[in-house]
Structure 1
Amino acid sequence: MERSVYAASGKHFLQQYPNQHIYGQLDMHGTNQPQTSHTSTSLSTSDSGEPGVDGKWASRLLRECARAISNKDSGKIHHLLWMLNELASPYGECDQKLASYFLQALFCKATQSGLRCFKTLTSVAEKSHSFDSARKLILKFQEVSPWTTFGHVASNGAILEAFEGESKLHIIDISNTLCTQWPTLLEALATRNDETPRLKLTVVVSESIVRSVMKEISQRMEKFARLMGVPFEFNVISGLNNLGELTKEGLGVQDDEAVAVNCIGALRKAEVEERGAVIRMFQSLRPRVVTVVEEEADLSSSRNDFVKCFEECLRFYTLYFEMLEESFVPTSNERLMLERECSRSILKVLACDDESGVGDCETREKGSQWCERLKEAFSPMAFSDDVVDDVKALLRRYRAGWGLVVPQEEDSSSGIYLTWKEEPVVWASAWKP
């Protein structure tokens, strides 16, 4: 079978992103004040113990503030939030941006306004979906970073190999990719040496995705399948409260279909306590392969310890923001939009109470943690040399700093890791019953 090396062609990338929302900087009396931009980006400690500006400052101030919130030290909270407000800027360099977006979450945590703020930001984002601007954003992000295409290439390769020789295919797509990975797979199916198979694609989407966006995606996917000459059926499932509501009957799985379950950035959206049940539901579908891609961060084991959760959240998003800073030009609107999308995730993790039903949402776990869960129902599949070579070829398209880690066979973890400056940031894996 001939397989395309890279993820879907740029012109087929379809995704929506939120409106550009600026967090209004507030003084501690609740009044708006002009943002102060500082050219210095570092912090030191004076003889009096007060922070001064001349070393890397954002992480130190943010950690101090998180500890003060955990200890309910209102005086210190007030002082540190005021200082962060003076130094932070969503338009500055990396430290200033981290301070700005984490300040929003810390302020909401301290004032117990996280859920209200999150709902407001989400509502604003949902009203501003633009297909054209989203397409441009994805094109640019795919152009400068393999953050998402890494998972596309690895998953597509494993799915194509699992479907070898099958004539009736069904992919259950439970992901946040909005079909951006599938045009390449359609191309590969169209060039198979044997008869072109029939493909059914069932996409499970969240309520936040605007119906008009999915209609546009459906039309483009069907048009592209016709162009490729691949018999194609496209179905959308929405309106679910959680992934545990999915069933074989609801997904329309037929006994004569070769099934693949594709999960990219999806399992973290299931409640932590429900993840085992979701994985067992996948097992009931008797899939040929299950592909799982998740970002490498542990926000699960520390979710009852605010300081530890904050530390891991800060570690992960510092890597992400630094990657964006080095990948995009300073004036990039696309970079700003991606950062603001992250600001909602940071707020969701740190400032939305668990009982709200939002705090657990998108609770990330590391690859080793997902492996322990998945091994209860599936066996790990090593990516073939061909798939690994495809991923390596993909990474060569990007700037220096990106890498690939393939664990040794004796390693207890499975899958492969995308690294940024030798730090694992995205984990991809494949599983069989």
Structure 2
Amino acid sequence: MKAKETSNSQQNVQTKGNGQGQVKPQGKKKEEGIDLRTLLIQCAQAIAVNNLSFAGELLKTIRHHASPYGDSSQRLALYFANGLEARLAGTGRKIYQKLMEKRTRATDMLKAYRLFIAVCPFARVAHYFSNQTIVDVLNGRQKVHIIDFGIMRLAKREGGPPKLRITGIDVPQSGFRPYTTIESTGKRLAEYAEMFNVPFQYQGITSKWENICIDDLNIDNDEVLIINCMYQAKYLGDETEDIDCPRDRVLRIMKKINPEVLILGIVNGFYSSPFFLPRFREVLFHYSSLFDMLNTTVLQSHEERGAERIERPETYKQWQVRTLKAGFKQLPVNQAILKRSITEKNKWYHNDFVINEDSGWLLQGWKGRIMHAVSSWKPKDSYTNQKDQN
């Protein structure tokens, strides 16, 4: 699959490490001396001090130079201008709801994801970390219960696949069919398990994470219990919502579930500040790196590019403090996983991607800015008991 993805994407992405093959942008020509990022920050500053007329003039200038088909700064400016305009008009929530109601075709999502996989190692490395950690924890045992996971690597295990049970947890969707997504996910997983002859059972639970009842998980004593939480915790409320915030409550629930291992993947960002201006600066820097990465690795002409806060990313150091406080013991990064991830990155991806480790986290980034982090944990009690038994 890796070779096929790379081959199919070869004509659409730039040559690894040197930027060859880039075509000229179809949008507006970038003019000398125009620093769109500085203009965006100035506009945010004007909004922060309620200088709405000046903010409006800056928005006109930004829109004049922005383009959905230009380079990274022009594309970035277009979307941030839309956000600033929504902030000015106080319509951020309505715009978000309209975006969520606009259903993207599954084929378009798949095309975009395949392109992302071909040019960026973030998802592939995170899934490899998660899959290999699960395989290592199983250690030949015959029953596994994974809360939210995929199954391909289990099918190739020596001695045959274990009996696999997956519990998918998600909030109900809006509309007349609130359970459609979680039910269709279970159906696809069952079909996939059948392809690889993996004994499979699925249960879907629709609930806010912080309201999960552990009894509903139907945990058996003889199964290996694993919690997999990859890149979704950013949607949980933080201390600006409640002192005893949802993300802390969810970590405590995970501790009570008492899994053999918790696999935690997070988007590394620092734009969860309750104050608009510092939050805007951080999110601008974060997405500047993402847009720069895509601008460097994907042709600009490629057809598959494409006030209330919904995402509240924190840094991996902040998540480390939260998870330790909830009663987990962090496990060290498996050096074999790290070594292979670096080797694969060097072989298939652009030289400016970064893979490293720090404080028990496997880190991924672009040009020195850390974008993603993944780690594994054990409840402190089970860690202590296991140590005493050994």
* Cross-structure match for 2:88: 110
Note the residue ranges of structure 1 that are not aligned, 5 or more in a row.
1-5, 11-35, 42-53, 174-178, 337-350, 353-358, 408-412
Match of 2:348, SS state, is: coil
In 2: Cα distance, 1:414 partner to 1:431 partner: 10
In 1: Cα distance, 2:106 partner to 2:205 partner: 20
* Cross-structure match for 1:68: 46
* Cross-structure match for 1:255: 221
Task: Answer yes or no: is 1:373 the counterpart of 2:322.
Answer: yes
Q: 2:194 aligns with which of 198, 223, 226?
A: 226
Q: CA deviation at 1:184?
A: 3.1
Q: CA deviation at 1:217?
A: 4.0
In 2: Cα distance, 1:390 partner to 1:164 partner: 20
| Map 1:149-164 → 2, pairs under 5 A | 149-164=124-139
* Cross-structure match for 2:15: none
* Cross-structure match for 2:294: 324
* Cross-structure match for 2:361: 415
Match of 2:296, SS state, is: helix
In 2: Cα distance, 1:130 partner to 1:37 partner: 25
Q: 2:29 aligns with which of 13, 20, 39?
A: 39
Q: CA deviation at 1:414?
A: 2.6
Note the residue ranges of structure 2 that are not aligned, 5 or more in a row.
6-25, 239-244, 380-390
| 8 A Cα contact 2:66 2:77, kept in partner | yes
In 2: Cα distance, 1:213 partner to 1:195 partner: 30
Kindly provide the CA deviation profile for residues 211-242 of structure 1, in whole angstroms up to 9, marking residues without a partner as x.
Answer: 6665554343223322322211122222x2x2
| 8 A Cα contact 1:297 1:312, kept in partner | yes
Match of 2:214, SS state, is: coil
| 8 A Cα contact 2:227 2:259, kept in partner | yes
* Cross-structure match for 1:342: none
* Cross-structure match for 1:355: none
| Identity, % of aligned positions | 24
Kindly provide the CA deviation profile for residues 123-148 of structure 1, in whole angstroms up to 9, marking residues without a partner as x.
Answer: 12xxx342333222222211121121
In 2: Cα distance, 1:214 partner to 1:193 partner: 31
Quick one: which amino acid aligns to residue 98 of structure 2?
A: T
Kindly provide the CA deviation profile for residues 48-97 of structure 1, in whole angstroms up to 9, marking residues without a partner as x.
Answer: xxxxxx23511100000000000101221121112112222222211111
Task: Answer yes or no: is 1:202 the counterpart of 2:167.
Answer: yes
TM-score (norm 1): 0.75
Match of 2:229, SS state, is: strand
Q: 1:191 aligns with which of 156, 164, 179?
A: 156
Query: CA RMSD for the aligned pairs?
Result: 2.3
In 2: Cα distance, 1:271 partner to 1:217 partner: 25
Kindly provide the CA deviation profile for residues 325-360 of structure 1, in whole angstroms up to 9, marking residues without a partner as x.
Answer: 122211222221xxxxxxxxxxxxxx22xxxxxx2x
In 2: Cα distance, 1:79 partner to 1:196 partner: 62
Task: Answer yes or no: is 1:100 the counterpart of 2:70.
Answer: no
* Cross-structure match for 2:256: 284
In 1: Cα distance, 2:47 partner to 2:366 partner: 31
| Map 1:356-367 → 2, pairs under 5 A | 359=309, 361-367=310-316
* Cross-structure match for 2:270: 298
Match of 1:333, SS state, is: coil
Task: Answer yes or no: is 1:145 the counterpart of 2:120.
Answer: yes
In 2: Cα distance, 1:316 partner to 1:139 partner: 22
Q: How many residues align?
A: 347
| 8 A Cα contact 1:190 1:229, kept in partner | yes
In 2: Cα distance, 1:401 partner to 1:80 partner: 33
Kindly provide the CA deviation profile for residues 234-268 of structure 1, in whole angstroms up to 9, marking residues without a partner as x.
Answer: 22222x2x210112222222222211111111111
* Cross-structure match for 1:167: 142
* Cross-structure match for 2:203: 235
| Map 1:333-344 → 2, pairs under 5 A | 333-336=303-306
| 8 A Cα contact 2:333 2:357, kept in partner | no
Kindly provide the CA deviation profile for residues 156-178 of structure 1, in whole angstroms up to 9, marking residues without a partner as x.
Answer: 121221121221101111xxxxx
Quick one: which amino acid aligns to residue 255 of structure 1?
A: N
TM-score (norm 2): 0.83
In 1: Cα distance, 2:34 partner to 2:265 partner: 32
Q: 1:331 to 1:375 in 2, by over 3 A?
A: same
Which one is further off, 198-207 or 59-68? 198-207
Match of 2:141, SS state, is: coil
Quick one: which amino acid aligns to residue 261 of structure 1?
A: I
